[in-house]
Amino acid sequence: MKNNINRSLKSSDGEKKMENQSKWRAKIALACYFALIGGILLGSLILELLLFGMRIDYLDPPFPVALIATPINETIILGITLLFTKYKGSGLKELGLKKPSLRILAIVPVLAVFLFLLGLGVAFGQEIVFGPDPTAEFLAKLMTPTNSLQLIVMIVFSLVLVGPCEELAFRGFVQKGFENSFGKMKGLLVASLLFGLLHGLNTLYAIVPAFIGGLVLGYLWQQTNGNTTASALMHGINNSISLAIVYFATV
């Protein structure tokens, strides 16, 4: 009887230890965030070396550089996220990779349209206050598809790479860590701010729209009980809409 009790206590202690190990907090979430920044900068270096090897001028490429940059950056983002997740003794389940319900699948596309319109409104507001983004033309050359095949490939990238990889990182790991330390509201605000600041690596004009986008995606993530699949789908659809609108506006 005594041995059974001891085994039960040891089993309970072991389960608690595993649970505490997998419940990461703000410190490790922030470390992951800085690792993601370093990874993205590394991805930029890899991209420049590839273009140099292909004898392509980075400032005047014959095709949108995003076709190469997207798989490089998103693979790095996913790899770093999974390394931190494994370090905490967790897996994709703890990052919120769940099967979405039919209700979620019906609502998410509508919310993605709302997010796109919200971001568009914020971008227009910034131009009114601060003037046009001086880097807009250059970024458009790097990111805008020039034919229908490129558009299809970049939409596929948005849905299967950008949405899932970035949401597993920023909602599944980073936001979850800050929420474990500061609670849902503060955790959402901090994670969304960091999400916005990261997009400032492209252009400072992207910080506020990305911050607001992070708030919407993070709130959806909370309301779906940490379902990263839902926020990933919304993220991917939002980016796809942006690509399609820009493409058809410039054809």
- What per-residue confidence (pLDDT) applies to 18? 39
Name residue 127's amino acid: E
- What per-residue confidence (pLDDT) applies to 4? 52
Distance of CA 9 to the CA centre of its chain: 41
Question: Domain tally for the chain?
Answer: 1
The model's pTM: 0.90
- What per-residue confidence (pLDDT) applies to 141? 87
b/e burial code for range 31-63 (CB count within 10 A of at least 16 → b): ebbebbeebbeebeeebeeebeeeebeeeebee
- What per-residue confidence (pLDDT) applies to 1? 53
| Pair of tokens at residue 10 | 């040891």
Cβ neighbors of 36 (< 8 A, separation 6 or more) are 77, 80, 81, 169, 198
- What per-residue confidence (pLDDT) applies to 22? 59
Q: Which of 192, 236, 187, 237 is nearest to 214 (CA)?
A: 192
- What per-residue confidence (pLDDT) applies to 3? 54
For residue 161, the 8-state DSSP code is I
- What per-residue confidence (pLDDT) applies to 217? 98
Range of the domain at 83: 2-250
| Residues of the chain with confidence (pLDDT) below 50 | 5, 8-21
